[in-house]
Amino acid sequence: MKLSVILPAYNEQDRIKKTLLDVSQFLQKQSFGYEILVVNDGSKDLTAEVVNNLVSSIPNLRLIDNKENHGKGYVTKQGMLSASGDVRLFMDADNSTKVDEVLKMLPMFEQGYDLVIGSRRISGSVIAVHQPWFRDFLGGVFRFIVHILVPVGVTDSQCGFKAFSALAARAVFPKQSIYRWAFDVEVLAIARKFKFKIKEVPVTWVNDTESHVKLGGMIDMLLEVMEVRLNLWAGKYK
């Protein structure tokens, strides 16, 4: 088995090195093959330069360097379709969920699951550092609306720690059309429509205090969820 670890990155010059060293240290201890793929989303800082400087010292590290910003969903799709692993994991560049949580996921693929996603909402999960109450409230509202408009059968569609089999990745991501706020909802909706087997596993998650999702962002997320609903009605994901 080969594991691909994909890190979408936008303006991560101050954190990406630490995350990559952590990922590499863990993977070098494992018995399976692996690759680490950073997909730069048109960063305005030195993210690409930092990663390039690490290529010679971190085994199996590769950079896809987009010069323009397209959105996290775009570069996640790009990484998933450029990867070569039998299992393809995307995780946040801020290391809010550490790569060692993937050890909970890999046995699930052997049991026949096609997608295994991290959840902060099920028994066994640990939120080491919580979000401010207002963001928690907005997150709850968002989950409720997703459940009504696009039920995807999971408790936590937005956790940035999701693994796909190669077969599922090649089937789902070419159909993806939303590239910013609600791309997680869309890929889960597509996977469910294609009847892929989805499993949630509890993860440990540390809130990124530098992340600031504003009300405008939440509104954009809801508009994109409505777009997914319309796409489902229109049969776009055939």
Q: What is the CATH number of the domain that holds 25?
A: 3.90.550.10
Nearest residue to 172 via CA among 153, 192, 198: 192
Higher-pLDDT residue of 217, 210: 217
Euclidean distance between CA atoms 17 and 21, whole angstroms: 6
Q: How far is CA 92 from the centre of its chain?
A: 6
Residue 203 lies in a domain: yes
> Tokens at residue 154, please?
């999971």
Please state the pTM of the whole predicted model.
Answer: 0.92
pLDDT(221) > 90: no
Q: How large a percentage of the chain has pLDDT more than 70?
A: 90
Q: Which residues contact 70 (CB under 8 A, 6 or more apart)?
A: 41, 42, 179
Residue 192 lies in a domain: yes
pLDDT(144) > 80: no
Residue 238 lies in a domain: no
**Number of domains present in the structure of the chain:** 1
Secondary structure of residue 227 in the 3-state scheme? helix
Euclidean distance between CA atoms 6 and 12, whole angstroms: 14
Predicted confidence (pLDDT) per residue in 63-92, tens digit: 999 999 999 999 999 999 999 999 999 999
> Tokens at residue 193, please?
């429509």
Give the residue-averaged pLDDT of 8-21: 97
The pairs formed by 19-24 with CB atoms below 8 angstroms and a separation of 24 or more are: 19/93, 19/94, 19/95, 20/51, 20/54, 20/58, 20/61, 21/54, 21/58, 22/95, 22/98, 22/99, 23/99, 24/58, 24/59, 24/61
Predicted confidence (pLDDT) per residue in 149-192, tens digit: 898 989 999 899 999 999 999 999 999 999 998 999 999 999 99
Residue 182 lies in a domain: yes
Residue 191 lies in a domain: yes
Q: Could you identify the residue written with the tokens 């991290």?
A: 118
> Tokens at residue 2, please?
């080969």
Higher-pLDDT residue of 217, 181: 181
Higher-pLDDT residue of 138, 74: 74
Residue 208 lies in a domain: yes
pLDDT(31) > 80: yes
At 162 the pLDDT is 98
Domain span including residue 103 = 2-233
Average pLDDT, the chain: 91
Secondary structure of residue 66 in the 3-state scheme? strand
pLDDT(45) > 80: yes
Nearest residue to 5 via CA among 75, 70, 85: 85
